[in-house]
Copies of this chain bind each other. A is one copy, B any other.
Amino acid sequence: MNRKPHVTLSDIAKQLNVSKVTVSKALRGHPDISRETTRLVKKVAEELGYTPNFAARNLSSRKSNTIGVVVPKIAHFFFSSIIESIYDEAFYNNYDIALTVSQENAEREKKHIETLMAMRVDGVIVSITQETKDSTIFEKVLSRNVPLVFMDRVLQVGGTSQVTVDDRGGAVKAIELAISNGYTKIAHIGGYKEINIGKNRYEGFAEAMKKHGLPVDPDWVIHGGFGEDDGYQGFMKIYKSGKMPEFIFAVTYPVALGVYAAAAEVGVRIPEDLDIICFGSASINKFLKPALTYVDQPTRTLGKAAVDLVIEHIGETENYQPKLIEVPTELVIRDTCIKKKSAVNAAAK
């Protein structure tokens, strides 16, 4: 296999005795060039095995036709399905995606965003890490006039658009379902309060409790991360406190799984001894026993909306108005968060 330098526009031009501009225009279907010439150019390009050089194209046209994406995790249903929808929507709109994964690490997130800037992506979609606090890197993106859209996990930075889930409303729905099923001793294993999804889900929980005149026991409100281990630890903390709630509202699906694991370990039965509901789901939920009742987040809608939003902003050369899109949630009833058995009689509610 001998080194075959890449075919360029000039190679095609030489072959046809035209200028490279003609070739460039022909390949892009520019009306300047006649049907016949265009046909010839395309034919020769094919024969020679021409492959455009994106670096050259991006450099001279000052756009990359690429949207940068930064997500905290990839091996989780929520994000991987969002990513699939982002790819689909970008593909449909003829954009490329530059995907990066921060692994819930703020420093890595910053590096990735710098790389995306260096790639001169036309826009950026970010779902921040659990630990992201510093907004300077995002302000830098904005100051460069690069459209920035936060998705699901957002940071308050002026001028950015957001696509979020109705976390507060979803949490209220979840708690009200629990209450309507006769539960009063309700705990919440939540995420960090510093991040919107943690904060809003907690607030929805608190709001619903208050509205129904139920006390919120501080020992029954745990704040931590969004992973399985956080759920495990959260449960154990509550368990060891000695007083058990009847019901847990978990901030994410992995957290709920952590609760399952911990409960199994200490012999607490779900849903008999402890019932549960959570935010988000996974493709395997139907195989879980008991399958979790959950607040569904429409991942496809989220991804599509985020892409559409950046593209819209890319179109607007001048000062665009940031948009805040909030997509509604839906309760999906499965095997948990069912009518409380011992309280069936007292279900005069």
Contact = CB atoms under 8 A, between A and B. Distances in A.
A287 B76 CA distance: 15
Given A1-B319, A84-B74, A144-B6, A117 B288 contact: no
Contacts of A58: 55
Interface stretch (A94-102, A174-182, A183-191, A244-252): A94-102
Contact of A118 (B51, B91, B117): B51
Nearest to A7: B144
A344 interface: no
Interface in A76-100: 76-77, 80-81, 83-84, 87, 91, 96-100
Interface stretch (A197-205, A209-217, A278-286): A278-286
A167 to B, nearest CB: 22
A127 to B, nearest CB: 15
Nearest to A228: B283
A76 B114 CA distance: 29
A8 to B, nearest CB: 12
Contacts of A25: none
Contacts of A76: 80
Contact of A81 (B3, B49, B75): B75
A301 interface: no
Contacts of A228: 283
Contacts of A14: none
Contact of A75 (B53, B84, B114): B84
Nearest to A318: B3
A24 to B, nearest CB: 14
Given A120-B55, A284-B288, A96 B115 contact: yes
Contacts of A286: 261
A324 to B, nearest CB: 18
Contacts of A97: 99-100
A287 B257 contact: yes
A99 B70 CA distance: 12
A138 interface: no
A260 interface: yes
Contact of A257 (B1, B59, B119, B284): B284
Interface in A269-314: 282-284, 286-289
A33 interface: no
A38 to B, nearest CB: 20
18 contacts: A49-B143, A51-B114, A54-B119, A74-B83, A74-B84, A75-B81, A76-B80, A84-B103, A87-B100, A91-B108, A97-B99, A99-B99, A257-B284, A257-B287, A261-B286, A261-B287, A284-B287, A288-B288
